A and B are shown apart, each in its own frame.
Chain A
Amino acid sequence: MSRDITISVLKFNPRDEDSKPEFVEYNLKETPGMTLFIALTKIREEIDADLSFDFVCRAGICGSCGMVVNGVPTLACRTLIENYPDGKLQLIPMPAFELIKDLSVNTGKWMDNMSTKVESWIVSNDEVDITKIEEKMDPDTADAVFELDRCIECGICVASCATALMRPDFVGPAGLNRIARFSIDPRDKRTDDDFYELIGDDNGIFGCMSLLSCEDHCPKHLPLQNKIAYLRRKLVSVK
């Protein structure tokens, strides 16, 4: 049994002067186990070769395929069409990011900018001797670091966050998560004082309005609510 489904896509090419943003509807037949990635590929192959969207891994790992599906930012490669009982899907490019064309947005540029702002790397003056075995890390600490390192930079938390949409300079949940990650890494020698320099203002931790849309939409289920509260408690008392 195959259903008829309708996928409506907001098409727009900001680089083409004649292009106007508009919804274009595509009708197709659902196939068993069809993901949104498969559906979009089918549309591009059979109906509209001009449709732009991004995919790489098709397995929820690379973070390229974020888009707004029926209002909710999601990874398209992990979205099953069968979960939409009425067979209607409306697709919009994720807000907050520079629009490339149709569903394709430049999350990379945003993430680069964020990484620079929060200095997303280990900061230490320790000499590293590469002839020696690395210093050991307590397994629980390592687990805690890996847990937060699972972020795939898909940008869904940013596109979900009303604060980030209203205030483009906000480092966003992904940015705050990055600080939380380095603050528990024992190799990073930065102090709370140093972290305050990076996110101790209304574009950082004190800008977060606890809407928890990040927590509720992150496809990797990162503990954003808990980590943001942790950073707030930590940095509010910095002398």
Chain B
Amino acid sequence: MSDLIEGYIGKTTNGKKSRIPAKLDYIQSLTGGFLAIFMWGHMMMVSSILVSKDFMYYVTKFLEGSFIIDGGSPLMVSIFVFIVFVIFVVHAALGMRKLPSNFKQYQVLKAHTKSIQHQDTQLWGYQAFTGFVMFFLGSIHLYIIMTNSADIGPYASADRVWSEWMWPLYIALLLAVEFHGTIGLYRLCIKWGWFDGKDPQATRKRLKKVKWALTGFFLTLGFAALIVYMKIGMEHADKVGEKYVPTSMIKEAK
């Protein structure tokens, strides 16, 4: 009943303003913060390929839970991806509230951003645009990984990147996620005044620097890893489907 009353009358059953907008704002920050930090960890794992194929192989096995189950199980990965997917959808649903939702809003946002030349307004524009892009690209990536969690590894992943044509999508998704995530973390700190201290303006300048450094760092790492996967994928193109066998096992077999 309270949903009906709150929906129609705009007041809770004890006559107060709904507390939900506060919760939504909070959950938006919580899910955004989680996704952004998760993306750091994710990038570290992805870029394990920069060390060696063996290293990437063992990182994958570790994430499949090889420390609990002998040999690991991709199901662990599927379950984890599903949880991330749910958080992603919740975050996107909340982010939608802020996007321009009709032509008039879009028109004034565009005219204003162009006219005022204000960096943080511009950055929000990028955040909104990249957020919109990720509705599609993020969903595709998450669904594929969730349903193909057994096919993660030095060859399987490289085949997906190259022979299964994921590289164009990954280029766009990498740009979108790194811009969106780092701008988002910067905004998160400002929004809640976390590091304001005595001189909020000085803090903001510092946060901005850290933000650009992070954007640069993760984009460099991301593209370096992507290029390596593309190269491996290209070289492995005639053997698609073959799984990677770590060097140590090859030796044992001899």
Interface residues of A (CB under 8 A from B): 68, 71-73, 92, 95, 160, 162, 165-167, 193, 196-197, 200-202, 206, 208-213, 215-217, 223, 225-226, 229-230, 232-233, 235-239
Contact = CB atoms under 8 A, between A and B. Distances in A.
B207 to A, nearest CB: 11
Contacts of A213: 116, 118, 120-121
Contacts of A193: 16
B62 to A, nearest CB: 38
A229 to B, nearest CB: 3
Contact of B109 (A71, A162, A202, A216): A162
Contacts of B201: 215, 225
Interface residues of B, number: 33
B121 A229 contact: no
A229 B201 CA distance: 13
B193 A233 contact: yes
Given A206-B24, A232-B191, A238-B19, A95 B124 contact: no
20 contacts: A68-B115, A72-B116, A160-B116, A160-B118, A165-B108, A200-B19, A202-B97, A206-B25, A210-B187, A210-B190, A211-B121, A213-B120, A213-B121, A216-B118, A225-B200, A225-B201, A226-B196, A232-B191, A236-B22, A238-B22
Contacts of A68: 115
Contacts, number: 99
B112 interface: yes
B115 A71 contact: yes
Contact of B193 (A73, A167, A211, A230): A230
A202 B191 CA distance: 15
Given A209-B124, A225-B190, A167 B105 contact: yes
A201 B117 contact: no
A162 B121 contact: yes
A209 B98 contact: yes
A95 B108 contact: yes
B100 interface: yes
A212 B24 CA distance: 21
Given A229-B190, A229-B191, A230-B193, A236 B121 contact: no
Given A206-B22, A211-B120, A229 B196 contact: yes
B243 interface: no
Contacts of B115: 68, 71, 92
Interface in B2-49: 16-19, 21-22, 24-26
Contacts of B73: none
A45 to B, nearest CB: 29
Given A71-B117, A166-B109, A226-B200, A212 B25 contact: no
A41 B232 CA distance: 71
A225 B18 CA distance: 25
A138 to B, nearest CB: 20
A225 B112 contact: no
Interface string B110-137: 0011011110110010000000000000
Nearest to B120: A212
A32 B14 CA distance: 65
- State the 8 A-B residue pairs at the shortest beta-carbon distance, nearest first: A229-B193, A71-B115, A166-B105, A206-B25, A210-B191, A226-B200, A206-B21, A201-B21
A40 B190 CA distance: 38
Contacts of A201: 17-18, 21
Nearest to A163: B98
Contact of B100 (A166, A202, A235, A238): A166
Given A213-B120, A233-B193, 14 more contacts: A72-B116, A72-B117, A162-B112, A166-B105, A197-B17, A200-B17, A200-B21, A201-B18, A206-B22, A209-B124, A211-B120, A225-B196, A232-B191, A235-B22
